Structures are given as structure tokens and as C-alpha cells.
Amino acid sequence: MRRTMMKSKLHRARVTDAHLDYEGSLTIDAQLMELADILPFEQVRVYNVNTGARFETYAIEGPAGRGDICLNGAAARMGAPGDLIIIVTYADYEEEEARRHTPRVVLLDAANKPKKPELVQRCHS
């Protein structure tokens, strides 16, 4: 059996911009993508803490170190600059691998900077 598990997340990212007329996606600071193990064009799920909106899109790489988190295209209707969001990736794992898996969690401050250079933690419900 395969299980779908959280692979990584950027926790409490602040939306910095929104571009309705863009083709669509979520621009993420390249440094944050690397820390969270998110590849360009990888599917991401986004949970808006302010509005409760939940949606899927794909990641595109933004300039490193600026903290950019930009909702593009239709995603721009799902939030606004200043909103807090959680960006999550998932992956399928074989049963034994899933039981040993530890997701990568990057906690962000109000400026979209990692609270620690890299934080990997076991998530508990």
C-alpha cells in the first residue's frame, strides 16, 4: 500500500503581492523553496489562514532572499497581500517509508524569513 504524506511546508508565509493577469501559479522566494524542498512547477496546496480558502496550484521560483510570496492568476482571487498562508507539498510513500518519514517544516517570521536557517521537525496531531 502507498500512503500520501505531507512532504514539506512553509508555515505562516505572508502574501507579499497578487497578480490577477498573470498566467497562474504561486511565486515563492527561491531560498524558501530550497529550504522546503519545493521544485519549480511542483504542485502545492495553499491554505489561507485569514480567509479559510484552500486551493492547489504550482510553484514558480522568485528571486532569492526577498521573501516574495505572490498569488498569480486565479490564485490572486484566493487571498490578498498581508494574508497568512500555509504552503504544503505531499508525496506518495510505500508503507514502511511512510512510517519513517519526517516532513520538512519551515517556520516563517512576519517578513517571510525562516525562524531558523532550516527546521525539520516531526509533526504530531
Phi, psi values for residue 99, rounded to 5°: -70, -25
- Cell numbers for 120: 525539520
- Give the residue numbers of the binding site for substrate: 57, 73-75
- Give the residue numbers of the binding site: 57, 73-75
Is 47 a known active-site residue?
Answer: no
- Cβ proximity of 22 and 55 under 8 Å: no
In what helix (H) or strand (E) does residue 105 lie, and over which residues does it extend? Answer: strand 104-107
Residue from 25, 47, 90, 93 carrying the catalytic annotation? 25
Residue from 22, 47, 58, 90 carrying the catalytic annotation? 58
SS3 content of the chain, % helix, strand, coil (to 5): 15, 45, 40
Is 90 a known active-site residue?
Answer: no
- Cβ proximity of 40 and 61 under 8 Å: yes
Catalytic positions: 25, 58
